Amino acid sequence: MQGHQAAVPWLSYAIPFAIIAVVMALRWRSMRRARKLRVEMLWILPAVYAAIMALVFFESPPGPGGWLWSALALAGGAAIGWYRGRMMRITVDPETHELSQQASPAAFFLLIGLVLVRSVARQEMGGSYGPQADHHAAMLATDILMAFAFGLIAATRVEMALRARRLLAAARLA
């Protein structure tokens, strides 16, 4: 029985790593292709995420410290999201004026870095996501991560939309 208990911690690291590796490999492969960019659709994901986040915050609002940490996480996510959006390659077909986007390898490595930072933070917290975890700390961590993710998603999309519109306007003038 002792050997089985030693294998469990190893599996708790191996399985998430394997899943992340597969997802990142698929993302890397799809990143090589340019995809059609529909500027009018960029608002949908941030709006859906904002609605989910608002519902979660409404049902269980954070305390004053939680709001502060969530606001800081939102600002940090927005800064990183803006930078990530700038790394996305956006092109305009000169004849049809169709927009396309292609993810940057730098944006890909930024996402890998964020996953690694989250993993390190989880380890520093002692992996306290189980039933023995402090409920309030888990709720606060969830609120902070949700705010960070919203800032990242929204700022990436806003930066891409603004840049795509500028590029399209310039292409139409040429």
Cα distances from 126 to residues 18, 73, 99, in angstroms, run: 21, 21, 46
> Can you tell me the mean pLDDT for 123-137?
56
Query: Could you read off the pLDDT of 44-74 as tens digits, one per residue?
Result: 989 998 998 898 888 888 888 999 999 999 9
Tokens of 159: 């930066």
Query: Could you read off the pLDDT of 75-115 as tens digits, one per residue?
Result: 999 999 999 999 888 999 988 999 999 877 766 676 666 66
Nearest Cα to Cα of residue 74 among 48, 111, 46, 55: 46
What is the model's pLDDT at position 132? 45
